[in-house]
Amino acid sequence: MTTSPLAGATIPADPFAARLAAAVKARRTPACIGLDPRYESLPPALLAGSAAPGDTAAVARAFARFCNDVVDVVAPLVPIVKPQLACFEAIGPHGLTALAEVIAHARSRGLLVLADGKRNDIGSTAESYAAGWIGGPWGTDALTVNPYLGLDALEPFVKAAAARHAGVFVLVKTSNPGSRDFQDLEISGKTIYDHVAAGVEGFAAATAAGARYGAVGAVVGATWPRQLDALRAAMPHAWILVPGFGRQGGRAADVRGAFHADGLGALVVSARDVIFAHARPEMNTGLADGQWQTAVDRACHDMIDRLAADTPAASLRT
């Protein structure tokens, strides 16, 4: 590893795409677990002596403990976790301290960390976002970014990712129903998400340096299986991050189009269905409040098994 003079962070020897592929192969699954803590949804065992209204320090401690305990369960099972930055930012400075603790703990357990912040801006502001979140002092391996400001606004993130062996995942076709409002509009005979995908593929191919995948990937929701098929073909050099699996309605069969035949090329995300599995009767059967991590383990295994049964991820098990 070398040190980045800009961010003061170590630069991994291998590019992010190569490290991600190796981690997926090592865990034999493309499952990515979202860390989206919400106080009202925490296991009862963690709410004993619950925080008083406005006690953000206590909420932050609960978030850190909860997420670190989830990480301890899933670290042997999956290659990567995805902390949702908004959940931590919502409780202020104490939340950011908790976020830093969770990122450090995930890295100590051998997990890659994808910061889900959907950041972007122009010029030096974009450069500052990239300096912090892409291989920077936060210690994350990749960041989600919004392409709405244009391809030039993505360039600082792409340059930082290439230089620091980190990754960028660009929103292409998001999982929410309202994505149709703008992303499906047609310009010059193609949808806006098609135009974004072409830009992503250009960046991915340029940063691949002869390898299979580049530093730039795409976000395409599990709720759009037909579009997943087409976008996989349109972005052969890009990893595709697939949110919306489970609680948002995406099934394993819906996400198969995101993969290449050997089970690589896609990361499928589940957050609430796994981390709050204590609230799912089928996962919590026979467990006491203090055994909520067992429910997380069951739900994570269930997700991994479903992906292996209904997608090319089965190839990772051979």
Instruction: Please enumerate in sequence order all residues whose Cβ is within 8 A of that of 232, keeping only pairs 6 or more positions apart, or say none.
Output: 240, 257, 258, 259, 260, 265, 266
Distance of CA 45 to the CA centre of its chain: 27
How far apart are alpha carbons 123 and 68 in whole angstroms? 35
Helix, strand or coil for residue 111? coil
* Residues 279-304 as b or e (16 or more Cβ within 10 Å = b): ebeebbeeeeeeebbbbbbbbbbbbb
Q: What sign has the CA pseudo-torsion 149, 153, 155, 159?
A: negative
How far apart are alpha carbons 96 and 51 in whole angstroms? 18
For the chain, how big is the Rg over CA atoms in Å? 19
Q: Residue 39 carries which side chain, given as an amino acid letter?
A: Y
How far apart are alpha carbons 309 and 312 in whole angstroms? 8
Catalytic one of 25, 118, 159, 173: 118
CA-to-CA dists, residue 274 to 103, 126, 254, angstroms: 18, 33, 19
Q: In DSSP terms, which residues pair with 115 in a beta bridge?
A: 143
- Specify the residue for token string 């930055």: 85
Cβ neighbourhood burial of 40 (10 Å; 0-12, 13-18, 19+): exposed
Helix, strand or coil for residue 171? strand
CA-to-CA dists, residue 188 to 128, 185, 195, 228, 314, angstroms: 34, 10, 10, 21, 39
Is 25 assigned a catalytic role?
A: no
Return the active site residues.
Answer: 118
